[in-house]
Amino acid sequence: MTSPFTHDLTGKVAVVTGAGGVLCSYFAKEFARAGAKVALLDLNGDAAKKYADEIVKDGGVAKGYKVNVLDTDSLQSAREAINKELGTIDILVNGAGGNSPKASTEVEYHEFDGMKDVKNFFDLDQKGIEFVFNLNYLGTLLPTQVFAQDMIGKKGANIINISSMNAFTPLTKIPAYSGAKAAISNFTQWLAVYFSHVNIRVNAIAPGFLVSEQNKALLFNEDGSPTDRAGKILAGTPMGRFGEPEELIGGLLFLADEKASSFVNGVILPIDGGYNAYSGV
């Protein structure tokens, strides 16, 4: 039996940060297909506008904006422009984020010997760590401070943050990114409580492992076989494969749609092929 339920976001204004990237631009396009007017925000303004143009060409309503999610003035200017051009904001997806090699180790374990030849925990760069934590955590907090002002008291208003499998169990080599994503999950729950009396729901999705242009070289060898790290990921994923971007959309639209999730608040939803549920034995 096929469910007749569809997600209709007609009349809603959705803001997606990090929308110049492949994944968040995909989110923006799906919001537009569901009827929302979409504001695509990214530090790379050309990329945001490019994806907005694609939405418009496909019959949707969208605008791209160059915005620095770590600059309150930039965010406030974007809010004013969005209010004028699209309307007041109903849905916010905090998608801006990322990692840096400067905040990553080259090894999974510290050993007694051989540590001088590889970048280890003691070599991590403070500015690199600050960059990763600021981009992910402050890059979620500051947009929420600005855009949630539009949402207070609006029916169906909600915020969706992007957490990670790292928030549940940290992956090796990337302590700053893991810590920042754990902070986002905690912040999601905090916000859900804080805004619960003014009709704003706050949830997050925690994607499992997807293949992208950014991580393809880390996951696959030149001959197409999985790298050692990819092999570990697949061994820890009961479904035995990587996810696809479109497999995040059901969870995203479910959380965004008041008709589907009006009593869902403070949830971090894993979309991970069972990775978080698997103990390894």
Measured between alpha carbons, how far is residue 186 from residues 71, 179, 180 in Å? Answer: 22, 11, 10
The pair of three-digit structure tokens given for residue 217, joined into one six-digit string: 């070289």
Residue 177 appears among annotated catalytic residues: yes
How many alpha carbons fall within 13 Å on the CB side of residue 137? Answer: 19
What distance in Å separates the CA atoms of residue 136 and residue 138, rounded to the nearest whole number? 6
Query: What Rg value do the Cα atoms of the chain yield, rounded?
Result: 19
Residue of 65, 177, 275, 278 marked active site: 177
Listed residue (12, 32, 16, 34) closest to 24, CA to CA: 16
Q: What is the dihedral of CA 67, 70, 73, 76, to 10 degrees?
A: 60
Q: Which residues are catalytic?
A: 177
